[in-house]
């Protein structure tokens, strides 16, 4: 039983840590410059969490420039922080 | 008995995988995690505590689940943490917060909130099953120890 336990636990530890390292090493779209769609133009975003949020939704929130094309990155709807703060103040 | 033990080991292993992966993902990409936590609707004073408390408690739970004497504590802590995550996910789905970006790290961040809810509920159920099996095991061992003295 101890051998089975050792095998299960060792596999679990290696799998979880290994996949976390592999994921960290893989380039994620969120690390590159983000753009949002304003009308028909793509505009550079600021810092995620500081300048803008992505509200829950099904559409594309931000895009990245990949090979001359804009590709969807974050999912949701684009929400600038200033706008949400103003909305909060208006509610108050 | 052996079958139950294997099930218990498998439940513990799945929970260890979840918590180790989640905590490692957070620490390996700590700046992103801080940014995502700053997005949450916590009071600003709590955020620095939560930033450290969440990944460290995940590591502590994984460590507790590894060893037999602390497994019950690990399972209960896992149930509490997963229940808190589930409640949080439910509040998001109920639109209690205006905007809540995901802060789960790694592959899990690609899930939608509804998928998150199912995912969390699955691990809540696993924790409950683990507690149930562990309790039965403890009772049985007490019973056998008592009988051995008779």
Residue B124, pLDDT above cutoff 60: yes
| Chain-chain contact of A8 with B32 (C-beta, under 8 angstroms) | no
What ipTM was estimated for this complex?
Answer: 0.74
Number of CB atoms found within 10 A of residue A8's CB: 17
Mapped onto helix, strand or coil, the DSSP state of residue B61 is helix
Residue A21, pLDDT above cutoff 80: yes
Domain residue spans of chain A: 28-91
| Chain-chain contact of A20 with B24 (C-beta, under 8 angstroms) | yes
pLDDT digits (tens, 9 = 90+) for B61-85: 999 999 989 999 999 999 999 999 8
Q: Nearest-5° angle of CA B33, CA B38, CA B41? A: 125
Looking at the structure of chain B, the number of domains it has is 1
Owning domain of residue B143: 2-149
| Chain-chain contact of A56 with B92 (C-beta, under 8 angstroms) | yes
| Residues of chain B positioned with their CB less than 8 A from the CB of A75 | 112
Please, what's the b/e burial string for B85-124 (b: 16 or more CB within 10 A of its CB; e: otherwise)? bbebbeebeeeeeebbbbbbbbebbebeeeebbebbeebb
Looking at CA atoms only, how far is residue A63 from chain B in angstroms?
15
A52-60 vs A63-66, strand pairing mode: unpaired
The CA distance from A5 to A11, in Å, is 10
Looking at CA atoms only, how far is residue A49 from chain B in angstroms?
5
């Amino acid at each position: 039983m101890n051998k089975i336990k050792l095998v299960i636990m060792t596999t679990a530890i290696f799998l979880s840590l290994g996949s976390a390292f592999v994921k960290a090493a893989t380039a994620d779209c969120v690390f590159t410059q983000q753009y949002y769609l304003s009308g028909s133009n793509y505009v550079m975003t600021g810092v995620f969490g500081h300048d803008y949020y992505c509200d829950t939704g099904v559409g594309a929130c931000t895009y990245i420039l990949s090979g001359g094309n804009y590709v969807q990155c974050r999912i949701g709807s684009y929400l600038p922080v200033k706008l949400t703060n103003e909305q909060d103040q208006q509610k108050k | 008995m052996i079958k139950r033990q294997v099930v218990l080991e498998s439940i513990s292993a799945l929970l260890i995988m979840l918590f180790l992966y989640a905590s490692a993902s957070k620490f390996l990409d700590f700046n992103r995690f801080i940014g995502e936590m700053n997005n949450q609707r916590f009071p600003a004073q709590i955020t620095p505590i939560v930033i450290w408390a969440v990944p460290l408690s995940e590591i502590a739970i994984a460590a507790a689940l590894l060893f037999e004497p602390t497994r019950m504590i690990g399972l209960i802590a896992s149930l509490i943490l997963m229940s808190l995550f589930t409640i949080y996910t439910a509040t998001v789905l109920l639109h209690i917060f205006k905007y809540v970006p995901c802060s789960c790290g790694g592959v899990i961040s690609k899930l939608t909130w509804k998928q998150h809810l199912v995912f969390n509920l699955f691990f809540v159920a696993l924790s409950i099953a683990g507690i149930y099996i562990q309790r039965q095991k403890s009772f049985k061992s007490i019973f056998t120890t008592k009988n051995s003295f008779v």
